[in-house]
Amino acid sequence: MIRFSELANMFFLTGAAVVLLKIIFRHNNAILWLDARLLLGCMMAMVLRLFVLADSPVANNVPVFRVYPEMCRFLRKSLFHWNGIDVNIVIVSQFLWITGAIFSAIYRIEGYIITKKRIRSYRRLKDSKFVGAVERINKELGKKAKFRLVISQEFSTPCIFGVFEPYIGMPEMELTPEEIYLVMKHEMLHYYRGDMIVKIMCEALKVVHWWNWFVYRLAELIASMQEINVDFQIVRGLPEMEQLEYVDCLVKVARHRKKKKREKQWEISFWKESPSEINKRIRLMLKNQEIDGKKTTASFLLSAGILCMIVVGPNILTFEPYAIPEEKVEGSVGIKGGGICYLDNKDGTYDIYVDGQYFKTTIEVFDKGIPVYNTLEEVIRK
Q: Residue 179: CB partners within 8 Å, gap ≥ 6? A: 245, 248, 249, 252
Instruction: Answer yes or no: is pLDDT of 293 > 60.
Output: no
Average pLDDT over residues 91-113: 93
Separation between Cα atoms, residue 4 and residue 53, nearest integer Å: 11
292 confidence band (pLDDT: 50, 70, 90): low
Separation between Cα atoms, residue 205 and residue 43, nearest integer Å: 13
Residue 265 is predicted with a pLDDT of: 37
Strongest mean pLDDT among 47-51, 148-152, 264-268: 148-152
Contacts 24+ apart (CB under 8 A), 145-151: 145/188, 145/191, 145/192, 147/188, 147/191, 148/124, 149/124, 149/125, 150/119, 150/122, 150/123, 150/124, 150/125, 151/122, 151/123, 151/124, 151/125
DSSP code per residue over 172-225: S----HHHHHHHHHHHHHHHHTTHHHHHHHHHHHHHHTTT-HHHHHHHHHHHHH
Average pLDDT over residues 40-45: 84
Residue with the larger pLDDT of the pair 328 and 8: 8
Judged on CB neighbours under 10 Å (0-12, 13-18, 19+), 289 is middle
How many CA atoms within 13 Å lie on the side-chain side of 141? 20
Paired with 78 in beta bridges are 88
41 confidence band (pLDDT: 50, 70, 90): confident
Could you tell me what percent of the chain has a pLDDT over 90?
Answer: 31
Query: Rounded to two decimals, what is the model's pTM?
Result: 0.76
Taking Cα atoms as reference points, which of 205, 12, 7 lies closest to residue 94? 7
Q: Residue 21: CB partners within 8 Å, gap ≥ 6? A: 39, 42, 43, 218, 221, 310
Helices (H) and strands (E) in the chain, counts: 14, 12
Sheet of 159-161: strand order equals 123-124, 148-151, 167-170, 159-161
Mapping DSSP to helix (H, G, I), strand (E, B) and coil, where does residue 328 land?
helix
Taking Cα atoms as reference points, which of 44, 53, 45, 40 lies closest to residue 11? 53
CB-based contact 340:43 (threshold 8 Å): no
CB-based contact 268:113 (threshold 8 Å): no
Separation between Cα atoms, residue 134 and residue 132, nearest integer Å: 5
Instruction: Output the CA–CA distances (angstroms, integers) from residue 348 to 119, 333, 345, 373, in the order listed.
Output: 71, 22, 7, 14
Residue 331 is predicted with a pLDDT of: 52
Residue 14 is predicted with a pLDDT of: 82
Instruction: Answer yes or no: is pLDDT of 340 > 70.
Output: yes
Average pLDDT over residues 46-60: 78
